[in-house]
Amino acid sequence: MAKPALGRGLGALLAGSPVAKPPVPAAVPNAIPLPVLPAADPRDRVQRVALDRIVPCPFQPRKDFSGDSLRELADSIKEQGIVQPLIVRERNGHLELIAGERRWRAAQLIGLAEVPVIVRQADDRAVLELALIENLQRENLNPIEEAQGYAQLIEQFQLTQEVVAAKVGKSRTVVANALRLLKLALELQGYLRDGRLSVGHAKVILGLAGDQQQRLAAARVLKEGLNVRQTETLVAHLQSRETIVLTKSAGPTPPTRDTHVASLENQLRERLGTKVHLRYAQGKGAVEITFFSDADLERLLQLLGINPD
């Protein structure tokens, strides 16, 4: 299945440059127009500037750059030059990158004195939005970098999850589930960064309360090479042990929790993007869904197909 487009991305940045324009795509019904940089000024032009005038952007969501990949790009630049100009903005006497950090880093590796750039006007919010869109389109971000980019848009610019989702062409559930990854123990976030744990594993492990239990589960997953389904069984077992410890002084020890019930609870939590507790015994029980605001409740009702009006 084709992946949904993430907006105009760098095409908007390069408007007005000597590069030939691509064909105009057909209109997509019900498409949400994404905010981009202001329309290109006809005076925009490619300039060559000293490499040491350019500084990295603090809003760049991508933090990890493969050394091998950079060396390959550097070799290509050495042979062919930089085909696509870097996009920069003037900032505190320097030229701050908006797009093209890999090309900038590769140019440093081979000691280029000058690089081609297009200087544009952009505020911090536009820079972060475009950096996210560019990296998501190219699948350059690891899950933690993606989550941190969403969090930065929400916290620094007071945006809702719905608005962020619209800007980057994702569903609100995708954004909410990504943000949940930031609740993982820092050590586990590192495992996600380097690919030792998958997002599927992480979502299951998030069902455990506390860094210690999460680390214990992750260690078992890595040591035994557990798949996601096996991890669900492990987490259900650890959850039952947590319940025993918490209620030991209050009465009889509760029975071990059914793994199928725990699995259903995890699926509900992932589908609804919020805390869910499923109680089940002998064909009866209850589903408890947590919401944190009126907007969150309205979102859940929409997911469940309920019109509050």
The partner residues of 278 in beta bridges, in order of sequence, read: 287
* Marked catalytic residue, from 96, 101, 232, 270: 101
Q: Which of 9-23, 131-145, 229-243, 289-303 has the highest mean pLDDT?
A: 229-243
Class of the domain covering 10-24+32-139:
alpha beta
- What mean pLDDT is predicted for residues 12-31? 46
Which amino acid is it at 281? A
Residues in CB range of 140: below 8 A, 6 or more apart: 62, 134
Tokens standing for residue 297: 């409740």
Which comes out higher in pLDDT, residue 30 or 199?
A: 199
Q: Which of 127-131, 221-225, 284-288 has the highest mean pLDDT?
A: 221-225
Question: What pLDDT is attached to residue 255?
Answer: 53
Measured CA to CA, the distance from residue 106 to residue 89 in angstroms comes to 20
Residue-wise burial string across 206-229, b where 16 or more C-beta atoms lie within 10 A, e elsewhere: bbbeeeebbbebbebbeeeebeee
- What mean pLDDT is predicted for residues 39-45? 56
Question: Where along the chain do its domains lie?
Answer: 10-24+32-139, 184-303
Among 35-49, 66-80, 220-234, the range scoring the smallest mean pLDDT is 35-49
How does residue 145 score in pLDDT terms, banded at 50, 70 and 90? confident
SS3 19: coil
Asked if pLDDT for residue 34 goes beyond 60, the answer is: no
Measured CA to CA, the distance from residue 28 to residue 235 in angstroms comes to 43
Tokens standing for residue 62: 């991508």
In the residue annotation, 265 being an active-site residue is answered as no
Strands annotated E in 65-213: 86-91, 94-99, 114-119
Averaged pLDDT of the chain: 76
